[in-house]
Amino acid sequence: MSEYTAVPSQPTAAPSPSAAEPPRTAARTAARTAARAAEPTAPSGRRGRLARRLPVVGGLAAGSVLLLAVPAFAHVSVQPGQAEQGGYATINFKVPNERDNASTVKLEVTLPTDHPLASAMPQPVPGWKIDVTKSKLDKPLETHGKKLTEAVSKITWTADGGKIEPGQFQQFPVSVGQLPKTDQLVFKALQTYDNNEVVRWIEPAKEGAPEPDNPAPVLKLTPASGDGHGSGGAGAKNAGGDADDTRQAAADGSDTTARVLGGVGIAVGVIGVAFGVLAGRRRGA
């Protein structure tokens, strides 16, 4: 036997990361590890797809709700919308331009034949030519002790240097009377644009039903006041002038509000969609 005893070799210890890597490299490794730990874990599978789609769906829904909440734009109407039976009144056919790329150049208003008016005199409007059409009556109309065999059936305003441009409206005044003893008068109107488009405001509104797309202008008639003369003439108009001006201002304000709300709804909808798309892309990345 050998007089020397073999001694088992000891395993060499592996160098620690801090010893194997330079200090700057070790710091970078630690920073990357911490950053990865701080990142949110992206959802997987069906839940991940749903999470990415929710922002887009939310944006579309928000835009749609705002757009549906916007009131409809104004249409051809009678201002003021009410007068007394048996009297005279000055009414205005208010015509807004509802197009962005065309101007209104013609308005035709048909007066009711079931309740003809003994008098219908349009007021001159600068920049517009007026044509008055009369028709024979099936039954003579008695007024102030006289019998009328014909009455005004249509009034046409045609642009003659003037027009209703986008974002504007025009009023066409008419003095009418004597107003018949009925609940309302329906005036059918045709609005023509310079691109040859014709909008027919002729649909009658039905009680309890939604307003039609193209409603005809309506003048509501109320029973005459106690004096028995149906004070719907100039004196009544002056007495109620402030109220008429207030109603007109409110109507004009509602038109502007509708357009402003429409623009705001569209803008918010677009922003919501864009936000949803960007959020979806970030989550997907």
**What digits encode the pLDDT tens for the residues 203-236?**
988 888 888 999 999 999 999 886 544 444 443 4
How far apart are the C-alpha atoms of 98 and 100, rounded to whole Å?
7
| Residue predicted with more confidence, 145 or 6 | 145
Residues forming beta bridges with residue 95, ordered by sequence position: 170
Mean predicted lDDT score pLDDT of the chain? 74
In this predicted structure, the answer to whether residue 250 has a pLDDT above a threshold of 60 is: no
Average pLDDT of the residues in 87-103: 96
The pLDDT assigned to 143 comes to: 78
Structure-derived torsion over alpha carbons of residues 155, 159, 165, 170, reported in degrees to the nearest 10: -40
Cβ–Cβ < 8 Å for 283, 47: no
How far apart are the C-alpha atoms of 151 and 120, rounded to whole Å?
8
Q: Which residue type sits at 117?
A: L
In this predicted structure, the answer to whether residue 174 has a pLDDT above a threshold of 50 is: yes
Q: Which residues contact 178 (CB under 8 A, 6 or more apart)?
A: 86, 87, 88, 117, 118, 119, 143, 230
Of 116, 87, 110, residue with least CA distance to 179: 87
The pLDDT assigned to 153 comes to: 96
Percentage of the residues of the chain whose pLDDT score is greater than 90: 45
What is the C-alpha R_g of the chain? 38
Using 50, 70 and 90 to split pLDDT, how confident is the model at 185?
very high
Using 50, 70 and 90 to split pLDDT, how confident is the model at 171?
very high
Of the listed ranges 67-71, 179-183, 188-192, 196-200, the least confidently predicted one is: 67-71
The pLDDT assigned to 86 comes to: 92
Cβ–Cβ < 8 Å for 154, 190: no
The pLDDT assigned to 207 comes to: 83
How far apart are the C-alpha atoms of 253 and 285, rounded to whole Å?
48
Residues forming beta bridges with residue 258, ordered by sequence position: none
Residue 162 class from Cβ within 10 Å (0-12 exposed, 13-18 middle, 19+ buried)? middle
Q: What is the pLDDT of residues 18-69, one digit of tens each?
A: 444 454 455 555 556 555 655 555 455 555 555 555 554 455 544 444 444 3
The pLDDT assigned to 231 comes to: 43
How far apart are the C-alpha atoms of 216 and 75, rounded to whole Å?
9
Using 50, 70 and 90 to split pLDDT, how confident is the model at 144?
confident
The pLDDT assigned to 29 comes to: 58
